[in-house]
């Protein structure tokens, strides 16, 4: 296939994507609805099966449809997780740029510092109990490196639930997924796990005392320590 025909195929796929997106926007295709069979799309839009499959791939990458082998694609039930999944490949490329990981981590620090302040001011008794349970699970996991990482993520995730904004837990899951390839390279020893647990406890204690300044400071100190643990590994992998 020459370059000209490839470009024509991509343009035809983009046109088809736009047409299907319009049907989703105007409600003609709703969440959970299957797309028309491939042969109907070929007939109605005057395109090849190759173009249809390229368009479906693009729609899936945008999290607008869900496709499974052997089944007709269906319109996705849009949500914050789906929206963030759709930009996952872009985020992965950005993380490969100089300072990409640092910039994303800095954004996480800024968000969580604000959340720690919020929690100290307004966390409910139920949210405090949930945080305390997550902290206890983190303490119990200190000897187990894999489990400690999972409970570490779980402790931080509670902070994202305090404001009641559904975007925040989805954003935390996205940050965790995007940063995980770098974080799992970090050597994890029980002594280091214990230091991180004590940092979590300092955050929790400040929230329990309703002290937003100390909660933010403890959160920032903890994540600064976490960055120092992993930054040398990231830099080493680039050289």
pLDDT of amino acid 211: 98
Under 8 Å between Cβ of 127 and 119: yes
Domain with CATH 1.20.120.530 in the chain: 86-238
- For the stretch 51-88, pLDDT in tens is 999 899 888 877 788 888 888 999 987 776 666 766 66
**Full-prediction pTM beyond 0.85?**
no
Structure tokens that stand for 117 in this block:
């302040």
48's CB contacts (< 8 A; 6+ apart) are 9, 12, 42
- Residue extent(s) of CATH 1.10.10.10 domains in the chain: 3-77
pLDDT for 229 equals 79
From the list 39, 30, 42, 22, the residue with the least C-alpha distance to 74 is 30
User: The tokens of 177 are what?
Assistant: 């997924």
pLDDT band at 235 (very low <50, low <70, confident <90, very high): low
Distance, CA of 200 to CA of 219 (rounded, Å)? 8
Map tokens 């035809």 to a residue: 12
- Give which of 188, 185, 189, 159 is closest to 171, Cα–Cα: 159
**What architecture does CATH give domain 86-238?**
Up-down Bundle (1.20)
Over residues 84-126, the pLDDT tens digits come to 766 666 677 777 787 888 888 999 999 999 999 999 999 999 9
Give 207-222 pLDDT, tens digit per residue.
Answer: 999 999 999 999 999 9
Pick the CATH number of 3-77 from 1.10.10.10, 3.30.1130.10, 1.10.150.120, 2.40.50.140: 1.10.10.10
Three-class DSSP category at 239? coil
């Amino acid at each position: 296939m020459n370059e000209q025909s490839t470009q024509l195929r991509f343009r035809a796929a983009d046109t088809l994507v736009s047409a299907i997106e319009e049907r989703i926007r105007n409600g003609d295709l709703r969440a959970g609805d299957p797309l028309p069979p491939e042969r109907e799309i070929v007939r109605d839009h005057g395109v090849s099966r190759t173009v249809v499959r390229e368009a479906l791939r693009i729609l899936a990458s945008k999290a607008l449809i869900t496709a499974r082998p052997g089944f007709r694609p269906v319109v996705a039930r849009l949500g914050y997780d789906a929206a963030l999944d759709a930009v996952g490949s872009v985020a992965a490329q950005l993380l490969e740029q100089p300072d990409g990981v640092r910039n994303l981590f800095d954004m996480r620090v800024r968000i969580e510092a604000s959340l720690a302040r919020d929690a100290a001011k307004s966390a409910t008794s139920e949210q405090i109990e949930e945080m305390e349970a997550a902290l206890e699970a983190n303490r119990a996991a200190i000897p187990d490196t894999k489990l400690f990482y999972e409970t570490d993520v779980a402790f931080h995730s509670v902070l994202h639930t305090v404001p009641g904004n559904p975007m925040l837990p989805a954003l935390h899951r996205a940050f965790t997924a995007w940063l995980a390839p770098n974080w799992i390279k970090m050597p994890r020893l029980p002594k280091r796990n214990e230091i991180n647990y004590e940092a979590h406890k300092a955050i929790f204690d400040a929230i329990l005392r309703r002290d937003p300044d100390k909660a933010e400071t403890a959160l920032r100190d903890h994540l600064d320590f976490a960055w120092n643990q992993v930054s040398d590994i990231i830099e080493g992998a680039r050289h």
